[in-house]
Amino acid sequence: MISQRTKFEHWSKGLPENTRYLIDLVQERILPAFLDKGFFWVDDYAEGKASEVGANEIPLQVQSSDSWPTIQIFFAPNSRPWFRLDFGLITDACYRYDGKLLSKKKATLSYAPARFSLAKDQGSVSSLFTQFGYHWFSFFPKRKLSSEVESASKALGCVFEFFEKGIADPWPNIKDGYVSKNIYKQFRPAFPLKTSPRGAH
């Protein structure tokens, strides 16, 4: 089985200059913060199934307890220079949309009891508040990307606090939306979703 890290490295080789620059920034400024906290790059995340995890993702976990703190850093599959950082707990209560129970080794954050994203400050005027980078154009792309990664890096404290304190009410009851200044809860559909194998999604 090809490791997730190898898939990611192969996928990222042919990307445009600014997207590659963004990935380098994330690996320099974001990734070490998690590695220092005991997270590791999961090479067999979701048992390596392409239908569950794309080559454009970096999955990180701590597998030392009943609930596994999990990070998925998702880069745009269309090669545009932006990324999203999702996080949550992979537990024994992970269910597919068809109701099938999944083991922690097979599960992703899509099947976790709750999935959250790092977000720009609550009240941000951008509609892309969980995406760091830019979609279309920037007059000063490297300066913009450096600023976006710096903004994400400064907000990481709320992610570590989340893993230390767990999920507090009323978070489990919120369908989606901001639950703190820099944490956004993603909606989890209650119906089956069709997926198909792909290299990046």
Q: Distances in Å between the alpha carbon of 118 and those of 105, 129, 154?
A: 24, 9, 11
Burial 1-10 (b: 16+ CB within 10 A, else e): eeebeebbee
Whether the predicted pLDDT of 11 surpasses 90: yes
Q: Distances in Å between the alpha carbon of 148 and those of 17, 52, 132, 176?
A: 17, 27, 6, 23
Whether the predicted pLDDT of 195 surpasses 50: no
Is 191 within a domain?
Answer: no
Q: Distances in Å between the alpha carbon of 1 and those of 6, 89, 149?
A: 10, 25, 32
Is 54 within a domain?
Answer: yes
pLDDT, averaged across the chain:
88
SS3 content of the chain, % helix, strand, coil (to 5): 30, 20, 50
pLDDT at 156: 97
- Please report how the helices 17-29 and 141-154 are oriented relative to each other, as an axis angle in degrees rounded to 10: 30
Is 198 within a domain?
Answer: no
Q: How far, in Å, CA of 75 to CA of 85, rounded?
A: 9
pLDDT at 93: 86
Is 192 within a domain?
Answer: no
Is 200 within a domain?
Answer: no
pLDDT digits (tens, 9 = 90+) for 15-57: 999 999 999 999 999 999 999 999 999 999 999 999 999 999 9
pLDDT at 177: 84
Q: How far, in Å, CA of 64 to CA of 38, rounded?
A: 10
Burial of 193 (0-12, 13-18, 19+ CB in 10 A): exposed
Whether the predicted pLDDT of 123 surpasses 60: yes
Which of 69, 11, 84, 82 lies closest to 35 in space, CA to CA?
Answer: 69
| Segments forming the whole domain that contains residue 109 | 4-186
pLDDT digits (tens, 9 = 90+) for 66-119: 899 999 999 999 999 999 999 999 999 898 888 889 999 999 999 998 899 999
State the total domains in the chain: 1
pLDDT digits (tens, 9 = 90+) for 141-194: 999 999 999 999 999 999 999 999 876 666 667 778 888 889 999 866 543 333
